[in-house]
């Protein structure tokens, strides 16, 4: 298996509660992998650890063979590993367009001197990223809102904006934390198609946290199940569906959705 992300024995506790208790797995390159598990299983904590927002007590996380632990979030993103947040984080006081223009990596105009010294080159680059942003906005039906403040969008639209923004990074791998929650079914089908298209044509790998089990069974070819900070099962959707450990983990756990 050609893995893009390898997680090995990662441990993290908050005030004595083990949020991650030796989680280990790897994610295959070019696949759409699902990460499920009951509330409090440590899924979001794992995302935060992978992307450098939290430093774990021990363990190793490798992206394309390179150790990530100890690196700050911005460096990890620049390597092509991007994420969204479980609680939507649109930049409400910036326009929808600016939200997207912010995302591309290595923009000349983002260093403090070039906008002054070579405004022409910076402007050219801006035109390019703007075109790319328009394409993505059109796909998400957000193009009409491009000049509005992101704060004026609906909850569902903000989810889309966050997804659109992450794609502007042109990542090699995307971690989506409940990207489908609150998005209406027809749009979520469209999103699924789009994610498959990105995987097929752009070889982007995905790791999705999702509570919508039918959806994840349909989208993912590989599913990892976490409970209490550990991986308890791994396999194809069919295998997961019939796994007793998984059923036990979900049993008695009341869902809040």
Binding residues for other proteins, rule: CB under 8 A, are 51, 53, 72-74, 77-78, 82-83, 85, 89, 91-94, 98, 101-103, 105, 107-112, 115-116, 119, 122, 125-126, 149, 151-152, 165, 169
Residue 193: CA count within 13 A, CB half-sphere? 8
Question: Does 37 help bind ligand ATP (rule: CB under 6 A)?
Answer: yes
DSSP designation for 168: H
- For 21, the token pair is 């208790």
Q: Three-state DSSP class for 64?
A: coil
CA–CA separation, 206 vs 33, rounded Å? 6
- For 86, the token pair is 């479980």
Which span sits near ligand ATP by CB under 6 A: 34-42, 119-127, 233-241, 246-254? 34-42
Question: Does 44 help bind Mg ion (rule: CB under 5 A)?
Answer: yes
Handedness of CA 76, 81, 86, 89 (dihedral sign): positive
Question: Does 21 help bind ligand ATP (rule: CB under 6 A)?
Answer: no
Which span sits near ligand ATP by CB under 6 A: 12-20, 70-78, 121-129, 230-238? 12-20
Query: Shortest distance, CB of residue 195 to other proteins, whole angstroms?
Result: 19
Query: Shortest distance, CB of residue 5 to ligand ATP, whole angstroms?
Result: 17
Query: Shortest distance, CB of residue 101 to Mg ion, whole angstroms?
Result: 28
Query: Shortest distance, CB of residue 139 to ligand ATP, whole angstroms?
Result: 27
Question: Does 19 help bind ligand ATP (rule: CB under 6 A)?
Answer: yes
Give the CA diameter of the chain: 64
Handedness of CA 186, 187, 191, 197 (dihedral sign): positive
Q: Given the complex with ligand ATP, which of 140 and 180 has the nearer CB atom? A: 180
x/- mask, Mg ion, residues 80-119, rule CB under 5 A, reads ------x---------------------------------
CA–CA separation, 123 vs 242, rounded Å? 56
* Residues contacting 128, CB < 8 A, separation 6+: none
* Contact predicate 135/167, CB 8 Å: no
Q: Which residues bind Mg ion (CB under 5 A)?
A: 43-44, 86
Q: Which residues bind ligand ATP (CB under 6 A)?
A: 14, 17, 19, 37, 39-45, 86
């Amino acid at each position: 298996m050609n893995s893009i992300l390898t997680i090995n024995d990662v441990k993290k506790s908050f005030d004595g509660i083990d949020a991650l208790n030796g989680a280990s797995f790897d994610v295959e390159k070019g696949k759409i992998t699902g990460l499920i598990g009951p509330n409090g299983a440590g899924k979001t904590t794992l995302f935060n650890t992978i992307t450098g927002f939290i430093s774990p007590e021990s363990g190793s996380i490798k992206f394309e063979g390179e150790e990530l632990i100890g690196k700050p979030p911005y460096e990890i993103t620049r390597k092509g590993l991007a994420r969204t947040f479980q609680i939507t984080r649109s930049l409400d006081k910036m326009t929808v367009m600016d939200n997207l223009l912010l995302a591309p990596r290595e923009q000349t105009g983002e260093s403090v001197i070039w906008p002054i010294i070579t405004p022409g080159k910076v402007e050219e680059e801006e035109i390019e990223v703007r075109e790319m942003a328009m394409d993505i906005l059109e796909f998400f039906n957000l193009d009409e809102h491009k000049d509005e403040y992101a704060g004026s969008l609906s909850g569902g639209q903000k989810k889309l904006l966050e997804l659109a923004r992450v794609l502007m990074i042109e990542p090699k791998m995307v971690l989506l934390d409940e990207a489908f929650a609150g998005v209406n079914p027809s749009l979520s089908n469209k999103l699924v198609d789009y994610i498959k298209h990105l995987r097929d044509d752009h070889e982007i790998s995905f790791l999705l946290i999702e509570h919508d089990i039918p959806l994840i069974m349909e989208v993912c070819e590989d599913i990892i199940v976490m409970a209490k900070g550990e991986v308890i099962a791994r396999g194809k959707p069919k295998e997961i569906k019939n796994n007793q450990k998984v059923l036990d983990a979900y049993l008695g756990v009341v869902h809040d959705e």
